[in-house]
Structure 1
Amino acid sequence: MAEAYIVDAVRAPVGRRGGGLSGVHPADLGAHVLTALMDRTGIDPAAVEDVVFGCVDAVGPQAGDIARTCWLAAGLPEEVPGFNGAEMIARDWDISRAEMEAFAHESHRRAVRAIDEGRFARETVPYEGVTADEGPRRDTSPEKMAALRTLVDGGRLTAALSSQISDGAAALLIASEQAVQDHGLTARARVHHLSARGEDPVRMLSAPIPATAYAYKKSGLTMDDIDTAEINEAFASVVLAWLKETGADPARVNPNGGAIALGHPLGATGARLMTTLLHELERTGGRYGLQTMCEGGGQANTTILERL
C-alpha cells in the first residue's frame, strides 16, 4: 500500500456564530485556505489529483453520509439529537456536571494561552480582518458555567459544556511518496494509521472509544506512544468518557483547547484538528500524534500521524 505524507496544513481562524466570518460564502473561505496551501507549498495546482472537503450537510435525498443512512435504514434505530447522546454518555460513565465544567473551563484556558503564546500563528491564515480564533472566552469561570440552565430538565449538559457553532476552513496537502519526490516537496508527517469504526447510533457520540482501541490494535501502538492527541470536543462528556476508557494523559489531550473554546465548524473540524495536531507535534518535538472524532450515525475515525 502506498504511503501518504502530509506536506503542509493550514486553516482559517475559527469565527464564532454571527462573528467576523458569518457573512463569508463557504466557497470563498475554502478557496482562501486552498490558495494559502498552494502558495506555501509551491505545488502546481494542475498536479493535484483530488480535492476532498468536508461539508456539514448537502441538500437533497443524498444529504449527509448516504452509506451510513442506508445502513441505518436496514433496521437500526434512528439517532437521537446530539445533546441527548451526550447526556447518555455522562450518565453511563458517571460524569458529573462539575467535572464537565472543570473540563470546559480548562479548554478555554488552554485556548487563550495558545493564542497569547502564538502557538496558532504558523497554522492560521487570516481572512477578511479576522486574525485569531474568536471563540475562546477570557472571562469565563466555573461559577458562570454553574449558573447556566441545563439543555434538558434534569440533565447535566449546558451550553457551556457543548461545542460552539462556528465558521471556519482548513486544508492539508497530502501526497504519495512518489509525488513528494516528483514535485520536490518536503513531507512534514506520515499517515501511520487511518481507520473508522461504528458504534451504537443512538448514543452515537461514544464511537471514538472503540475507534481508538481499534487503531491501537491495528497499528501496534499504545497510548504511551502518543505524544499529543486531538479529540473533538463535541460535548465535554465525549472527551471525559474517552479519557476514562483510554487512560490517556489529560495534559497531552487537546493541549491548546478544543471545540468547546475554539469552536466546531462542522465540516471543517476534522481538518482543523489535524492541522493543529501537526503543528503541535512540531512545536513540542513529539513523534506520534492521534486524532479522533465522533460523527453522525454513530461513527468515528482515528488517524495516527508520525512526524518526520
Structure 2
Amino acid sequence: MTAEAFVYDAIRTPRARVRRDGGTLAGVPSYDLLAQVLVELTRRGLPAKVVDDVVMGVSTTVGEQAGDLARVAVMRAGWPDETPAGVVSRLCCSGLDAIASGAAQVRTGMAGAVVVGGAESMSRTPMMADRPAFALDDDLGDATGFVTIGVSADATAAKHGFTRAELDAWAVRSHARAAAADWRCVVPVTSGGETLLERDEGARDGVTAESLAALPALFADDPLWSRVEERFAGFVRPAGGLHTVATAPQMCDGASAALLGSADLEQTLGRAPIGRIVAWAHAAVRSPGLDGTITAARTALSRAGIEADDLVVAEVNESFSVTPLLVARELGLGDDVINVQGGAVAVGHPLGASGGMLLAHAMELLGRRGGGHGLLVIPGALGVATAVVVEGFAQEDALPGGGA
C-alpha cells in the first residue's frame, strides 16, 4: 500500500539578481544560502534529528557547488552528523527532481521525513561553468542538438506560433504581478548578523509593452541556428529574433527547502501538514525544443487523476516567456491560475533552487485560496522537462509561523 507524502513546510530565500559589479548575495556561497533555509526549518519546529534524508537540486555541480552541496549545507547548519544528504542534477529541473525523489522515499515507506529543495549561486558559479562536453565538442553538440538556451526558447516560440508582442506582453504581466507580490514563504538572508536581503529583486513597476518593444532580440544571429534547422523538418527561423533581455529569465542566486513526511510526522511536529505531493512526471522532447513541459504536465495530471480544469494554481517556471504562454494555451489555464504573483522573467531563475521555490509558492497560494490542486512545471536544456502535481490544504496562515 502506497503511503502519502505530505508537505509540512516550504520556504525559500529571496531571489537576488546577478550583477557584473557583484550582486546583493554574491558574497554568500550557495551552501550558506541552503544552510540558512535549513536553520529556518528548525526554528519553525523541525527537530533535525528526525530527518531521514536531505535531497537537494543543483544544476551546475562544479567548484563551490560540487562535492555534495547538500551534505555541506547540513553540516554548515549544525544538523546532526548522522543526517544523510545528497544532490540530484537534472539541469533546470533539478529542484523538482529533488521533490519527486524525496516524495518517492516517503511514499514507499523508506523514510518518514525528507527535506528537499535546492540551491544555486549564479553569481559565484555561473551557468555552464562546468563546461559540459555537449557544449564544447562539436560532434557531440551536433548529435544532441545542443544550442544556447535562448535559441531553444526562440525556436520553441516560433514552432508554436508565438509573436514577439505576445512574449513582451507576458513580461509586462510578470513584472507587474511580481512587483505587487506578497510572499510569506520568503526568509531573509543574513551574514554576520546583518540582513542582506528580505525581498526578491528585479521586478519593476511601470514596465510597458512600448518600452520592451524597443529592446533588441538577443539570439537572432546565433550561429547554432543551423542545428535547429537540421533537427526540425520544415522549421522556419524567426526573422529578427523573438526573445529579449526582458523576456529571458533573470540570472539570480537563491535557495529553497521543504519538509516532506509521512502521516506520523504530524504527531512529532505537533502540527498538521499544509499539503501533499500527489504525482509527478519527467519528460523529454527532441532537443533543442523546450516544449517537453506539455507532455510532463499532462502525464503528471493523468497520474494524479485530475484535469487541468481542476487546478487552482499553476506555478510554471518562466524559462523565457514562451514557457508559461505555451503551458497556459495547451492546458487552457486561466489568468487567475498561472503565475499569479509573477515569475522568473521579472525576478529570476536560480536553476537548482527554482523547483523548491515553485513548491513554496503553490503551497502558500493554495492555502490562501482554501486548498485544492496545483501544478509545478519546469523545462530544461537538451529537451528535458519535469512536472509535479500537489494538493494544498486550507490554512489561516500561508505557512506555519508565516504571519497573518
**Number of paired residues?**
296
Deviations 1:119-176 (A, max 9, x none): 21x2011113311111111242212211111013321111101100001111101112
Q: Is 1:141 the equivalent of 2:208? A: yes
1:89–1:241 contact (8 Å) kept in structure 2 = no
1:58 pairs, out of 61, 66, 72, with 61
1:135–1:262 contact (8 Å) kept in structure 2 = yes
* TM-score, scaled relative to structure 2: 0.69
Corresponding residue SS for 1:143: helix
Corresponding residue SS for 1:273: helix
Q: What is the CA–CA distance in structure 2 between the aligned matches of 1:139 and 1:17, rounded to whole Å?
A: 22
1:111 pairs, out of 178, 181, 203, with 178
Q: What is the CA–CA distance in structure 1 between the aligned matches of 2:34 and 2:265, rounded to whole Å?
A: 23
Q: What is the CA–CA distance in structure 1 between the aligned matches of 2:90 and 2:303, rounded to whole Å?
A: 25
User: Which letter does structure 2 place at the counterpart of 1:99?
Assistant: E
Deviations 1:217-243 (A, max 9, x none): 222200111000000001001221222
Q: Is 1:165 the equivalent of 2:251? A: yes
State the percentage of identical aligned residues. Answer: 35
Q: What is the CA–CA distance in structure 1 between the aligned matches of 2:304 and 2:198, rounded to whole Å?
A: 38
- CA gap of 1:22–1:303, structure 2 versus 1, over 3 A, is same
Q: What is the CA–CA distance in structure 1 between the aligned matches of 2:173 and 2:322, rounded to whole Å?
A: 14
Q: CA deviation at 1:185?
A: 4.1
List alignment gaps of at least 5 residues for structure 2: 68-87, 92-131, 134-139, 190-194, 221-239, 394-404
- CA gap of 1:212–1:79, structure 2 versus 1, over 3 A, is same
Deviations 1:49-98 (A, max 9, x none): 111111121139999549xx99xx8x962322111111111111110101
Q: What is the CA–CA distance in structure 2 between the aligned matches of 1:53 and 1:250, rounded to whole Å?
A: 31
Corresponding residue SS for 2:57: coil
Q: Is 1:25 the equivalent of 2:26? A: no
- CA gap of 1:53–1:276, structure 2 versus 1, over 3 A, is same
Aligned residue in 1 for 2:371: 286
Deviations 1:160-217 (A, max 9, x none): 01100001111101112233344444211011112212222221x2111111111122
Q: What is the CA–CA distance in structure 2 between the aligned matches of 1:296 and 1:35, rounded to whole Å?
A: 32
1:197–1:299 contact (8 Å) kept in structure 2 = yes
Corresponding residue SS for 1:27: helix
Question: Relative contact order (alpha carbons < 8 A, sep ≥ 6): 1 or 2 greater?
Answer: 1
List alignment gaps of at least 5 residues for structure 1: none
1:228–1:286 contact (8 Å) kept in structure 2 = no
2:57–2:89 contact (8 Å) kept in structure 1 = no
Aligned residue in 2 for 1:35: 39
Corresponding residue SS for 2:339: coil
Aligned residue in 1 for 2:13: 12
Corresponding residue SS for 1:193: strand
User: Which letter does structure 2 place at the counterpart of 1:13?
Assistant: P
1:129 pairs, out of 181, 192, 196, with 196
Corresponding residue SS for 1:288: strand
Aligned residue in 2 for 1:97: 164
User: Which letter does structure 1 place at the counterpart of 2:147?
Assistant: V
Q: What is the CA–CA distance in structure 1 between the aligned matches of 2:89 and 2:43, rounded to whole Å?
A: 32
1:1-308 equivalent positions in 2, closer than 5 A = 1-18=2-19, 19-40=23-44, 42-59=45-62, 64-65=89-90, 77-114=144-181, 119-120=182-183, 122-127=184-189, 128-153=195-220, 154-203=240-289, 205-308=290-393
> CA RMSD, aligned part only?
2.3
Corresponding residue SS for 1:155: coil
Q: What is the CA–CA distance in structure 2 between the aligned matches of 1:138 and 1:24, rounded to whole Å?
A: 28
Q: CA deviation at 1:102?
A: 0.7
Deviations 1:261-287 (A, max 9, x none): 121111101111111111011112231
Q: What is the CA–CA distance in structure 2 between the aligned matches of 1:65 and 1:192, rounded to whole Å?
A: 21
Corresponding residue SS for 2:346: helix
1:13–1:126 contact (8 Å) kept in structure 2 = yes
- CA gap of 1:4–1:76, structure 2 versus 1, over 3 A, is farther
User: Which letter does structure 2 place at the counterpart of 1:125?
Assistant: V
Corresponding residue SS for 1:251: coil
